[in-house]
Amino acid sequence: MGARCSKLSLCWWPSHLKSNLNYSSDLENGELLPGGFREYSLEQLRAATSGFSSDNIVSEHGEKAPNVVYRGKLQEDDRWIAVKRFNKSAWPDSRQFLEEARAVGQLRNERLANLIGCCCEGEERLLVAEFMPNETLSKHLFHWENQPMKWAMRLRVALYLAQALEYCSSKGRALYHDFNAYRILFDQDGNPRLSCFGLMKNSRDGKSYSTNLAFTPPEYLRTGRVTPESVVYSFGTLLLDLLSGKHIPPSHALDLIRGKNFLMLMDSCLEGHFSNDDGTELVRLASRCLQFEARERPNAKSLVTALTPLLKDTQVPSYILMGIPHGTESPKQTMSLTPLGEACSRLDLTAIHEMLEKVGYNDDEGIANELSFQMWTDQIQETLNCKKRGDAAFRAKDFNAAIDCYTQFIDGGTMVSPTVFARRCLCYLISDLPQQALGDAMQAQAVSPEWPTAFYLQAASLFSLGMDTDAQETLKDGSSLEAKNHGN
């Protein structure tokens, strides 16, 4: 399955940092604290996010994740925000949560997507940050659509992030949890910013790393503790990402570096666009960051010193290097999707299963009734029994058995049911067979051309195949068809 980037990739919107750094003291709701940090009420954040609507989820893992990030718009000052809502069991001690949030909230730097507020009511724990309009580094580096990231921009990303870490260290916040390409966001000018959310754990006793163990600092595996040196190790993995355009395990990269095969690390899109000296210097810096012994790694200040001379095209604005529109001030309109459409857009296979089972066979009831008088033949009866056995297996989540039974029903050739194709499609998706799933979704559409579910399942299959652009278009088709059906 090809690499892909979910449409719900974490992306934050404009901040108006300069004009809104300090709020006027006459704001009626919410306690204003020094440095422009503010405590919001749950009702304010509920209103800003349209009741924490699933349409406003922008985090990588969707609403099933332990901690979900929503976009929202504050009503009183009409600006976009990102709201991180923690799991109910996180941060049981409200005082500890407030202390941490307030400490992070005092940081203000143009290299950060700054924390501007929090909410602590009952069991609810929420953080409020500036919103960035131009997606994540992961999207631009691994899943680019228009152009690969230029060498000059990659160097700029590395330097700006090193400057962010140096600033945080100077303010006594050297620990950053799970530093990775999803934590780097691009503002309205196309400049990279480090998400402030990583300066706090997901919970007081939560894990600090959610990435694959192959990318985790060795000392964290031994002790379970994050140190400033651990953050530098993770910065080294990020340098590898920037060099290669891929997420390469450090051990593999270090083997290539030791074998003096560093050119094999380089992104093929960069061929001819960088000097060997610059490439060698960045590789050398990455290998220093990835030293097994934490004490042998450079500190954040050393990273800035090493990267500053490498910077190129310093007069060219980031948005031009990135090839993105400048000054986006409001989010793109999102499609209005039903719960099934939403689940397919997020590839939430569990939710899709629940909905398909609940809907049943209403869509092709007429076919079943029309055929009921033919049940006098043994062949028809056996075909219906195959469907019943398939439905029972589908309900019991025995998806391999469901595939077998539904296949017998379809191969029988005496009846055609779009719902059977839809259900087998989902079974294929769960079994990691997206190509077969796409075939079934297309068959369901051929049988029932006005059925939005067929389009939504095609979109889910296309997302699984890494064909995001086609998937988005198919989602739009399903949504338009649904609106048309409801209008009749």
| 19 CB-contact burial (10 Å; exposed 0-12 / middle 13-18 / buried 19+) | exposed
Distance of CA 392 to the CA centre of its chain: 34
Print the SS3 string covering 51-119: CCCHHHECCCCHHHCCCEEEEEECCCCCCEEEEEECCCCCCCCHHHHHHHHHHHHCCCCCCEECEEEEE
Kind and range of the H or E element at 478? helix 468-487
Query: Is 262:283 a contact under the CB 8 Å cutoff?
Result: yes
CB atoms within 10 A of CB 121: 14
Closest to 95 measured CA to CA, from 204, 200, 171, 170: 204
State the Cα–Cα distance between residues 99 and 84, nearest whole angstrom: 17
Task: With H, G, I as helix, E, B as strand and everything else as coil, classify residue 128.
Answer: strand
178 noted as active-site residue = yes
Catalytic residue among 26, 78, 178, 468: 178
Pair of tokens at residue 250: 């450090």
Which residues lie closer than 8 Å to 383 by C-beta, 6 or more apart? Answer: 408, 409, 412, 414, 415
Task: With H, G, I as helix, E, B as strand and everything else as coil, classify residue 444.
Answer: helix
Active centre residues (catalytic): 178
